Amino acid sequence: MKQIENLHFESKQVHAGHLDDEYGSAAVPIYQTSTFRFRDADQGAACFAGADKGFIYTRIANPTIKALEDNISQLEGGFGGIATSSGMAAATTLYIALLGQNQHIISTDAIYGPARGVIENHFSRFGVHYSYVDTSEPDNIIKSIRKNSRVLYIETPANPTMSLTDLSKCCEIARKYGLVLVVDNTFCSPFLQNPLSFGADVVFHSVTKFINGHADVVGGIIITRTEELYKKIRPVMVSMGCCMDPHQAYLVLRGVKTLSIRVERAQQNAMQIASFLMDHPKVAWIKYPGLETHPQHDLAKKQMRGFGSMLSFGLKGGFKAGKKLMNSVKLSTLAVSLGGVETLIQHPASMTHASIPQNEKLKAGITDDLVRYSVGIENINDLINDLEQALEKV
């Protein structure tokens, strides 16, 4: 394996986790196999005992998948990575590993809808308690802590409100009250933000988004700060059988090699689009961390290396106007997901966050007029022209 400790991010994303196979492959090969042959019975026994690091069965581990796990773990500065079949598989693995009956989770209110819904609709049936609060105000977190609180789960920037949570303050709170701090870092990717460096215990991603970046893979990954947490979480993923497929891992490894280039281009576009929308007479409001008008602009400069390419905005005509806009764009794609090379537009209240009760959506700032816009790498003039012609029809 290549030595990458002293390399910069752009070099690490290309070389971290690379396998040196017997044929000298420049790309990590796809080990498309369900099981692995042992040299002899003794080696098989040693593998199951953990004395031999050889591979046994792809649900447990696979060379292609391990290459991806090592790559993202090194980009995030963690102990080890655990790849999963989807972002929700990563979230569910964490819930099962870290929560038990009559235990309590505190979470950002405006997180990815299904990640909230699975707690409210399913884990609650097994005695898990929850509080969803605006974590951009640290006092809200402290007021929600109970004797049975075990996990503080945050997403920053939040999906889709673009609200930021202070990572340093959350780490202080987690240490003081004995909570495991979990951070969904999907919106930033390891290129723009590294929560483990602030002291978070676990970071995870939907690699479907920025890390893969090409809208052709569904996957997730968990990275732990310590070996202890790694050994606690990985067996849950293995037992649940929500492992990533080797071909998925291969595609994500290919995507991550261009992560920094894609993110840099997309966030350049996002800044110009945010400025365009801020000055448009039909736009009621806009939330983008790169704008000085964003309430946590200074925090974004402190804990992020860039402002990203996600933004949300509302039109003066409300939901009806937003629907007209989404039906009028020609270059942007009306679709859920985010973080790809293509620009996507969607309506969270009726799409990604539809499962959340209306009063809870409003409490979390997910209003009916909110349009979520994931900026891609297309030509900026083409993107602005597309929005301009669509806004004319509103």
169-175 long-range Cβ contacts below 8 angstroms, 24+ apart: 169/138, 170/135, 170/138, 170/141, 170/200, 171/198, 171/199, 171/200, 173/138, 173/141, 173/142, 173/145, 174/199, 174/200, 174/201, 175/199
* Percentage with pLDDT > 90 across the chain: 87
**Is 59 a catalytic site residue?**
yes
Q: Are strands 370-374 and 344-346 parallel, antiparallel or unpaired?
A: antiparallel
Confidence of residue 167 (pLDDT cuts 50, 70, 90): very high
Q: Residue 1 has what pLDDT?
A: 56
Q: With 70 as the cut, is the pLDDT of residue 3 above it?
A: no
Most confident by average pLDDT, 139-148, 317-326, 368-377: 139-148
Q: How much is the pLDDT for 354? A: 77
pLDDT for position 2: 64
Cβ contacts of 68 within 8 Å, gap of 6 or more = 17, 81, 83, 221, 244, 249, 252, 253, 256
- Mean pLDDT, the chain, rounded, equals 95
Position 105 pLDDT exceeds 80: yes
Residue pair 72/57 in contact (Cβ under 8 Å)? The answer is: no
Query: How does residue 365 score in pLDDT terms, banded at 50, 70 and 90?
Result: confident
Tell whether the model's pLDDT for residue 318 goes beyond 80. yes
Query: Half-sphere exposure (CA, 13 Å, Cβ side) for 329?
Result: 21
Which of 19-33, 288-302, 343-357 shows the highest mean pLDDT? 288-302
Q: Does residue 99 carry a pLDDT above 60?
A: yes
User: For the chain, what percent of residues have pLDDT higher than 70?
Assistant: 99
User: In the prediction, which pLDDT does 285 show?
Assistant: 96
pTM above 0.75, yes or no: yes
Query: Which pLDDT score, from 0 to 100, does residue 359 have?
Result: 85
What band does 376 get if pLDDT is binned at 50, 70 and 90?
very high
DSSP string, 196-241: GGGT-SEEEEETTTTTT-SS----EEEEESSHHHHHHHHHHHHHHT
From the candidate CATH numbers 3.40.50.1110, 3.40.640.10, 3.40.50.1970, 3.40.50.360, the one assigned to the domain spanning 9-256 = 3.40.640.10
Report the distance separating Cα 355 and Cα 333, nearest Å. Answer: 23
Q: What is the pLDDT of residues 112-165, one digit of tens each?
A: 989 999 999 999 999 999 999 999 999 999 999 999 999 999 999 998 999 999
Active-site option among 70, 95, 109, 112: 112
Which one from 52, 57, 59, 324 is the annotated catalytic residue? 59
> What is the C-alpha to C-alpha distance for residues 244 and 217, in angstroms, rounded to an integer?
11
Residue 167 is which amino acid? L
For the segment 168-213, what is each residue's pLDDT rounded down to a tens digit? 999 999 999 999 999 999 999 999 999 999 999 999 999 999 999 9
Catalytic residue among 66, 116, 150, 209: 209
Report residue 83's pLDDT band, with 50, 70 and 90 as the boundaries: very high
- Mean pLDDT within 26-46: 95
Tokens of 234: 């990985």
Domain ranges across the chain: 9-256, 259-392
When mean pLDDT is compared across 35-39, 58-62, 357-361, 385-389, the lowest value belongs to: 357-361
Please tell me the predicted confidence (pLDDT) of residue 137: 97
Fold match between 9-256 and 259-392?
no
Tens-place pLDDT, residues 226-277: 999 999 999 999 999 999 999 999 999 999 999 999 999 999 999 999 999 9
209 is catalytic: yes
pLDDT at 320: 86
Q: Catalytic pick from 70, 109, 134, 184?
A: 184
| 225 flagged as catalytic | no
pLDDT at residue 352 tops 80: no
Is residue 184 flagged as an active site residue?
yes
Q: Which pLDDT band holds residue 322 (cuts at 50, 70, 90)?
A: confident
Q: Assign domain 259-392 one CATH number from 1.10.3210.10, 3.90.1150.10, 3.40.50.300, 3.30.70.1400.
A: 3.90.1150.10
Residue 22: the pLDDT is: 84
- Token readout for 43 is 């080696």
Give the confidence band of 363 by pLDDT, cuts at 50, 70, 90: confident
Q: How far apart (Å, rounded) are the C-alpha atoms in residues 205 and 83?
A: 10
